[in-house]
Structure 1
Amino acid sequence: MTEVRPSKPVIAAVEGYAVAGGFELALACDLVVAARDATFGLPEVKSGLVAIGGGAQLLPRRIPYARAVEVLLTGRLFSATEADEWGLVAELTDPGRALERAHRLAEVVAANSPHAVAVTRRIVADTERAGGAGLFPPSDELARAVAQAADAREGAAAFSEKRAPRWG
């Protein structure tokens, strides 16, 4: 599977059921905000199919391996509370509030340096793809480039002047 990542963070807002392809879309996102009554699952095996739209590849990278394999091999659905306990969900909300909270979370992310956010996402993705091994030198180079960029100077100036940064 060739992974294509957008240049900006993507946040999923889950209300109701995120099952099969819908859950695979949520797994492809950077952050998941879910209503407490949401339900997740990859039930493909119950129909003689395989979750090849990203589910079988992404779920074991997002939650503990034993949980991922259990979900994939049994096809059982699971609650938003379980998803939160496993670390899949960034935030649980009251029913009907997931989209609103996802928008607020996006606003918080968007208020940060676009350059620093993009490089941070790249470091996280590169590290995860490499299994966490051997990436410190490239990560250091990327981080140094961010520290020398205009956004870093603006961030420091905004901090010292006690104002919101104005990103270029």
Structure 2
Amino acid sequence: MTDALTITRRGAVLEVVLDRPKANAIDLATSRGMGEVFRDFRDDPALRVALLTGGGEKFFSAGWDLKAAADGDAVDGDYGVGGFGGLQELRGLNKPVIAAINGICCGGGLELALSADILIAAEHASFALPEIRSGTVADAASVKLPKRIPYHIAMEMLLTGRWLEAEEAARWGMINRVVPADELMAAARETADLIASGPPLVNAAIKEVVREAEALTFQDAMNRITKRQFATVDRLYSSEDQLEGARAFAEKRDPVWKGK
């Protein structure tokens, strides 16, 4: 673990604050620490949702720590389990992650945010991929961003490094919504609590199907679902929660989800 992370368990929600002044940049040690945090979140049945934000009010994260790189951190070094920031390549993460964007979100910080499932931003937040100006490639963003927003907007960001303010980012669908800065955490927590109150086995199935279907045709994905070839779907269809949902509907009451 690292002092750059503040971890809080709030019921079934894990809150992770990346706090490395001034820019919440991520060096190798911090990345490895984040990987441990999100791996443990993935493997803890009591936790259902993670909420990630940055410390302070100016930066969510500026991404890769160039000062650490100048001191010897190799760009191709050991980022730890889950890859850069602990989320981008974490296998089997079938739980929802919310990013509360509290300020500047650029470079690897934007790539980290794109690893979340829901992005809520403060009004003063801004977004960019400035790697082009330092002669390198925003690798994860080059893969993800053209699938999230219109191709031409993504390519403009990648090829020019231009900035998007929060309202424009929301207009293109990069983020879910924009809220006043003093309402950011309340909005993120409200969303986290809503998801955490839902059926965890369904959330897991949604995450696995969406992730795996990206590389499949529609029919192949549907065949795998109906044949219960996704582990999360198979578990869901054999679960007590599947029956509980039907019973609660028939009895006109709120379901009680047990995650089994």
Shorter-chain TM-score above 0.5? yes
Shift of residue 135 of structure 1? 1.4
Letter matched to residue 239 of structure 2:
A
Match of 2:114 among 10, 27, 42: 27
RMSD: 2.1
Shift of residue 119 of structure 1? 0.5
CA distance in 2, matches of 1:9, 1:138: 22
* Aligned residue number for residue 8 of structure 1: 95
Q: Which runs of 5 or more structure 2 residues have no equivalent in the other structure?
A: 1-82
When structure 1 is superposed on structure 2, of 92-101 and 141-150 the one drifting more is: 141-150
Instruction: Kindly indicate which of the two structures has a greater share of residues assigned to helix.
Output: 1
Query: What is the TM-score with the length of structure 2 in the denominator?
Result: 0.59
Shift of residue 108 of structure 1? 1.0
Paired residue secondary structure (2:178) = strand
Matched, 1:50 2:140: no
CA distance in 1, matches of 2:99, 2:219: 28
* Aligned residue number for residue 162 of structure 1: 252
Shift of residue 79 of structure 1? 1.2
Match of 2:240 among 125, 128, 150: 150
| Aligned residue runs from structure 1 range 1-168, under 5 A | 3-5=89-91, 6-52=93-139, 54-130=140-216, 134-142=220-228, 146-168=236-258
Paired residue secondary structure (1:33) = strand
Paired residue secondary structure (2:189) = helix
Letter matched to residue 166 of structure 1:
V
Q: Which runs of 5 or more structure 1 residues have no equivalent in the other structure?
A: none
Shift of residue 144 of structure 1? 7.0
Considering Cα pairs closer than 8 Å and 6+ residues apart, tell me whether 1 or 2 has the greater RCO: 1
CA distance in 1, matches of 2:189, 2:104: 20
Contact 1:35–1:94 (8 Å) recurs in 2: yes
Query: What is the TM-score with the length of structure 1 in the denominator?
Result: 0.88
When structure 1 is superposed on structure 2, of 19-28 and 1-10 the one drifting more is: 1-10
CA distance in 1, matches of 2:187, 2:218: 30
